[in-house]
Structure 1
Amino acid sequence: MASRTLLAPAVRVASKHARPAARFLPHLRNLTTAPITAQATVPADPGHPRNPSVPLTPSTPTLSQHLTLADRLALRFREYIPNTTETYVAYDVTRTLYHECALQSAYADGEDFSASAAFWYGTCARPPTFQSWSQVTVLHMWMLAARMRALDRDRVKIWQQHFIDHFFYDAEEKMVKRYGIKSAGQRGGYMKDLYHQYRGMTAAFDEGLVRGDAVLATALWRNIFNASSDVDVEVLAMVTSHVRRVVSKLGSVDDEVVLTGRVKFGLPEEERAVVRQKSVLVDKLGDEVQQKPSASMAS
């Protein structure tokens, strides 16, 4: 795969093929990952659901993880008339990719959590709310969006537009069906908050990806754990390790894997054994600390 950076600036997300609501369209047109202060954002939270029977899960179907003959023909066909088919392919595949992101912390009242949701709400001690769901969803979207920036330049714009459009449409649909927010003006306020949350989290995670694990962990602490003072440091390290591993793996796969929606996230719980391993730097640092007093006494 050609060496293309995963950190190229993101493009605006307002799709000309799928119109976001006019009340937040001006904000979405300017949505980029330009550097801003990496701090905890004010999360959008519509409160308690009025219709708890409506699950907080994406309503889009998943595609097969196997590349069928039809998939191969579609990819071949797209090579000859890319401008005609690209936006339709991008819409369907990004819907599948978004579905995978949204499922990580999806839940339904009265039902057991999935293994992934159990980690985010149980192990991470986060309340099962719209706010928590959107934060975890945006985190997984960011990991995939970073990989999309390495696609061919002529298709990045369309794919990112559709990908993020799915999130905002799904979020607004949940506000209507699950939380009973019928007022367009009230929903518009929440959607603007959600836009700022998405933009702030994306910028913070981009910075962490470049500057190292300490900065990335800080961004996760602020934007996933709401800068909680009693956060479990081991759990925070697990999430940091998980994010770093996923981004690395996505960077190593062929473009075709992303372009056919064949992406599945693992569980952050799998990183527990890794973060519990003793670093060789701990002993090295300890030896240096012990040597310094001896050196000063000798002088």
Structure 2
Amino acid sequence: MVRGIVESIERDRAFWYDQCTLPPTYQTFFQLHLLYILILLPRLRALPAATASTEHPIPEPLDPGAPGASPASSTPSPASSGSESGSGSGGGGTAVLSKPLHESYPTELLQHFFELAESEMRQVLGRGERERVVRKYMDEMGEQWRGAGAGLDYVLGLTGSEEVAERAKADSELASWVWRNLLGSRGLTVPSEGEGKSEETMGENLELVVRFVRREMARLDRISDADVINGNIGEWGAPAP
């Protein structure tokens, strides 16, 4: 599943980095991959509460030696947050696989995501960087995951609310969430002369991303539990038509 996310982002690189003008930084790398992870997590949390087979391969890590693979991660798995975005544990293997599906799959997905994130960070910082520096940055990334996960859970709560007024503001809240977490809160300052057009384009791109999130969540909801359990979630759609 993580491999599919990596491939989809690379496929749509022109949209994310050129059209949305996201800077080619580690922070963009992290937030962009996190976006896909958070779109997928609600579907995994909706899996039945049956116990997974300890012999079944759940969302796979990248192949050892492949770009982004981290054979020996020193980053602790993300700890539980106040939201239901999933929780990590230091243990893997049967300890994770013996958990109910709706717990084990999100845990494994997050574990593989943070392995990818740490591997990318080590490439950016260089081989000689001290472990405590890497750990400090990864702790910060964990905090960003918790904050973004809680924010998206709030949006999903509005979407499923019985109150018409709450459902009506779900998309605007989702747009605000994307703006804060992916677009770096652009537009907080008054644009200088000549920047108005870029701000208008940002609004158009923001709408495309919101539609992309909604569309992909709806697509994942239509996939059977059996296919999700087997990792058959199909190909991610393009954020732009």
More displaced 10-residue stretch of structure 1: 202-211 or 186-195: 202-211
Q: Deviations over 1:24-72 (max 9, x none)?
A: xxxxxxxxxxxxxxxxxxxxxxxxxxxxxxxxxxxxxxxxxxxxxxxxx
Q: Which amino acid aligns with 2:7?
A: L
Find the counterpart in structure 1 of residue 237 from structure 2.
Answer: 266
* SS at 2:125 equivalent: coil
| Pairwise CA distance, 1:210 | 2.9
- Which 5+ residue runs of structure 1 have no aligned equivalent? 1-96, 107-113, 271-299
Superposition pairs of residues 8-157 of structure 1, within 5 angstroms: 97-106=1-10, 114=11, 116-153=12-49, 154-157=100-103
Q: Which amino acid aligns with 2:215?
A: R
- Which 5+ residue runs of structure 2 have no aligned equivalent? 50-99, 159-169, 188-198
Find the counterpart in structure 1 of residue 117 from structure 2.
Answer: 171
Equivalent of 2:174 in 207, 216, 221: 216
Find the counterpart in structure 2 of residue 69 from structure 1.
Answer: none
Provide the aligned C-alpha RMSD in A: 1.5
**Are 1:186 and 2:165 matched, yes or no?**
no
8 Å Cα contact 2:26-2:124 kept in structure 1: no
| Pairwise CA distance, 1:178 | 4.1
| Pairwise CA distance, 1:246 | 0.7
Q: Distance in 2 between matches of 1:126 and 1:204?
A: 21
TM-score (norm 1): 0.53
More displaced 10-residue stretch of structure 1: 116-125 or 205-214: 205-214
Q: Deviations over 1:66-112 (max 9, x none)?
A: xxxxxxxxxxxxxxxxxxxxxxxxxxxxxxx1122233334xxxxxx
Superposition pairs of residues 220-239 of structure 1, within 5 angstroms: 220-229=178-187, 230=199, 232-239=202-209
| Pairwise CA distance, 1:240 | 0.3
8 Å Cα contact 2:38-2:149 kept in structure 1: yes
8 Å Cα contact 1:238-1:269 kept in structure 2: yes
* SS at 2:23 equivalent: coil
8 Å Cα contact 1:208-1:215 kept in structure 2: yes
How many residues are aligned here? 166
Q: Distance in 1 between matches of 2:103 and 2:157?
A: 22
Dislocated runs of 4+, deviation >4 Å: none
Q: Distance in 1 between matches of 2:226 and 2:101?
A: 13
8 Å Cα contact 2:15-2:240 kept in structure 1: yes
The higher relative CO (CA closer than 8 Å, separation ≥ 6) is in 1
Find the counterpart in structure 1 of residue 148 from structure 2.
Answer: 201
More displaced 10-residue stretch of structure 1: 258-267 or 241-250: 258-267
Q: Distance in 2 between matches of 1:266 and 1:119?
A: 13
| Pairwise CA distance, 1:209 | 2.5
Q: Which amino acid aligns with 2:25?
A: T
| Pairwise CA distance, 1:175 | 2.2
* SS at 1:253 equivalent: coil
Q: Distance in 1 between matches of 2:107 and 2:14?
A: 30
| Pairwise CA distance, 1:174 | 2.0
| Pairwise CA distance, 1:121 | 0.6
8 Å Cα contact 2:26-2:121 kept in structure 1: no
Find the counterpart in structure 2 of residue 253 from structure 1.
Answer: 223
